[in-house]
Amino acid sequence: MKKLFAVLLSVMLLASLLPMAMAEGQEPITVTVFRGDPGDQPTEDNKIYKKIEDELGIKFEIEFLAGNLDETLGLKIADDVYPDLFDGGNSAETLENAEVLIDLLPYITEEKTPNLYKHIYTNDRIKQLTTDDGKLYIIPNYGINYNAQIQNYCNGPAFFIQKQVIAWNNYQVPKTLNEYFDLIERFLAANPTTPDGTPYQGFAILCEGWRHFCLINPVQHLMGRPNDGEVLIDVNDPGFHTETFIDKPYAKAYYAKLNEEYHKGLISKDTFVMNYDQYIAALSNGTVLGMFDQTWDFGTATASLETSGMYANTYLALPLVYDPEYVDGKVIEEHYLNGTVMNKDRGFGISTSCKYPERMVQLMETLLSDEWQKTLQWGFEGEDYSVENGRMLMTREQYVNRSDAKWQRANQAKAIWESMPKKQGTMDDGNAWDPGNQPEIYFEQMSDYDKEFYAACGVKKPADFFNAPIELAPYGEAWQIDKAPIDIDYNDFLAIQDRWLPTIITCDPAELDANWDAFVAEITPSATVYTDFMQAEVLKLVEQALN
């Protein structure tokens, strides 16, 4: 018995000594994590998590969203026990309102957390990040750029056209609305069907649910502004004049043009009743020649076209503007690409249940260092990438691995990295933070068709068709403004457009004017409420940003 006691005592003694051996004398802890998106659990021997555990003494226990986000958050709030690192996904406002997260500002100082301090205080970002009462609950997971922003392609809104149409047109690219539809008309006249006999559809408009931006958003871009949602804002006006554009004469021009094209057979009736799946199916078949959309919205269609080798049917993004004839002879300059918008209120917060908030902030701080960012975004040198003359490079195999879910589970700390504060843009040595943005890698991965296509167009990368991103307006992008205070009017405002715009596009040209007037008359009350609200909100944001 005595012997046993002695052994036990010595084991305990040894055990108490062990943590001392850990870096900076911090005892190992297990941190509970919730992610507001579905995801895959990493493998037990994941190399990045192992490095974090070895060097920082932190092990993660990750829970991914399974089922409905709002219901899951609601249940967690009712339970009153939270994971240490809490990512509320797209409903993180719910967590802030329920006072589940702690204020991070007291933990962030220039001395103790220089990386984080620089991250949120540079360019007065802090003014936009804090709540009305001056608290910071979440550091954005995306949208904070270092050095220059690399833009190889347009991921946002644009008019799209199949590359084969451009190739058919001797690689001449349309720049205005009229040129665009004229090209599709000519192409359709020459090639009414695909080689196997399916008729082409000239122009598709997705109108389903929240994706109706394909129907209601184009006018602002044709007028030369980036995406502000449903309002057109004059950034040169000191008062930031804000107006809804859909009820203005310059919007009528676009829908009248669509009406004309509808009667020429470019637009099918069925486009107004199709759902998202049918839309993606049509795009994936390669039968749709053009549409207005946002690149990320039809990524699955692009992927399936590329997988089946139909590169000629993939899409080129075009920054179209109105022809001068539509806007009193004014020549409009396009501004589709905008400065980066911070993904405010999205990412990890630290919950009130967390017993070691200081250590969590320190974790964010450490992972934000250049070395860790390289590890998290690129992996291990020699294994996941190589360096030649200071440029970070990947072989095709290394790059393809990155999109393999099975490889990711063992070799990336995706679940943590996605919600943590991170560096984007370029490193101080000129390499891109995101390997996908590294120009050498971007071109290396491009299909042969695309390489030839862009060479024939005389550009290096798809983004060269666009003007450089303009400086982000002080209010950010107006579509981010929460419309909760006027939601009933806002819903009316949208529903009236959903109902009227397809009617206007498909009506007899003789009735177009009457229909347009009826539409404007019906939408004016809600549009007025919406305009007043947005004008006030924009001014509020501008004021916050400027002082």
Partner 1 sequence: MSTVTKVQKPTITPKKKKGFFQSLGKQWQLMIMSVPMLLYVLLFNYGPLWGWLTAFQDYQPKKGLAGSAWVGLDNFRFLFGREDFRLAIRNTLAMSVINLVLGTVSAVLLAVLLNEVRNRTFKRTVQTVTYLPHFLSMVIVVSMAQNIFASNGPINQMLLSLGLVKDPVFFLGKGEYFWWLVGVINVWKEVGWNTIIYIAAMTSIDPCLYEAASIDGAGRFQRILHVTLPGIKSTFMVLLIMNIGHLMEAGFEIQYLLRSGLTMKYSDTIDVFALIYSFGSSKPHYSYGTAAGMFKSIVGIILLFGANKIAQALDEDTLI
Q: Identify the CA nearest to 232 among candidates 220, 248, 218.
A: 220
325 vs 487, beta carbon nearer partner 1: 487
Q: Buried b / exposed e across 495-525, counting CB within 10 Å, b at 16+?
A: ebbeebbbebbbbeeeebeebbeebbebbee
Q: Identify the CA nearest to 502 among candidates 326, 274, 321, 282.
A: 274
95 vs 367, beta carbon nearer partner 1: 95
275 vs 447, beta carbon nearer partner 1: 275
Positive/negative CA dihedral, 141, 144, 146, 149 = positive
Binding residue for partner 1, selected from 43, 471, 491, 511, defined by CB under 8 A: 491
Quote the least distance from Cβ 275 to partner 1, whole Å.
8
Quote the least distance from Cβ 288 to partner 1, whole Å.
14
Quote the least distance from Cβ 466 to partner 1, whole Å.
30
Residue 13 host element (H or E)? helix 2-21
Quote the least distance from Cβ 251 to partner 1, whole Å.
16
What is 251-298 written as a DSSP string?
HHHHHHHHHHHHHTTSS-GGGGT--HHHHHHHHHTT-EEEEEEEGGGG
Q: Segment 87-106, which members bind partner 1 (CB under 8 A)?
A: 93, 97-98
> Rounded to an integer, what distance in angstroms lies between the CA atom of residue 134 and that of residue 369?
26
Query: How far are the Cα atoms of 171, 259, 475 from residue 181, in angstroms, in the given order?
Result: 16, 12, 34
Binding residue for partner 1, selected from 37, 325, 358, 487, defined by CB under 8 A: 487
Q: Residue 12, interface with partner 1 (CB under 8 A)?
A: no
Stretch that binds partner 1, among 12-20, 205-213, 332-340, 356-364 (CB under 8 A): 205-213
385 vs 530, beta carbon nearer partner 1: 530
Total residues binding partner 1 (CB under 8 A): 32
Q: Residue 483, interface with partner 1 (CB under 8 A)?
A: yes
Cβ atoms of 163 and 313 within 8 Å: the answer is yes
214 vs 441, beta carbon nearer partner 1: 214
Binding residue for partner 1, selected from 16, 30, 122, 275, defined by CB under 8 A: 275
What helix, strand, coil percent values describe the chain, rounded to 5? 50, 15, 35
Quote the least distance from Cβ 269 to partner 1, whole Å.
5
Q: Burial-class residue 219 by CB neighbours within 10 Å (0-12, 13-18, 19+).
A: buried
Phi-psi region of 390 (alpha: psi -120 to 50; beta: other; left: phi over 0): left
63 vs 93, beta carbon nearer partner 1: 93
Q: Residue 75, interface with partner 1 (CB under 8 A)?
A: no
What is 137-204 written as a DSSP string?
----SS--EESSPP-SS--SEEEEEEHHHHHHTTTPPP-BHHHHHHHHHHHHHH--B-TTSPBPEEEE
Binding mask 236-265 for partner 1 (x = CB under 8 A): ------------------------------
Binding residue for partner 1, selected from 8, 18, 273, 456, defined by CB under 8 A: 273
Binding residue for partner 1, selected from 27, 124, 270, 471, defined by CB under 8 A: 270
Binding residue for partner 1, selected from 484, 510, 546, 547, defined by CB under 8 A: 484
Q: Segment 494-523, which members bind partner 1 (CB under 8 A)?
A: 495, 497-499, 501-503, 506
Q: Residue 74, interface with partner 1 (CB under 8 A)?
A: yes
Binding residue for partner 1, selected from 63, 208, 306, 444, defined by CB under 8 A: 208
269 vs 460, beta carbon nearer partner 1: 269
Q: Identify the CA nearest to 153 among candidates 294, 284, 281.
A: 294
The token duo for 48 is 């990045």
Quote the least distance from Cβ 316 to partner 1, whole Å.
27
Quote the least distance from Cβ 69 to partner 1, whole Å.
12
Q: CB-based contacts of 139: which residues, under 8 Å, 6+ apart? A: 104, 116, 119, 120, 129, 347, 348, 364, 421
Question: Contact positions toward partner 1, by CB under 8 A?
Answer: 74, 93, 97-98, 207-208, 212, 215, 268-270, 272-275, 277-278, 482-485, 487, 490-491, 495, 497-499, 501-503, 506
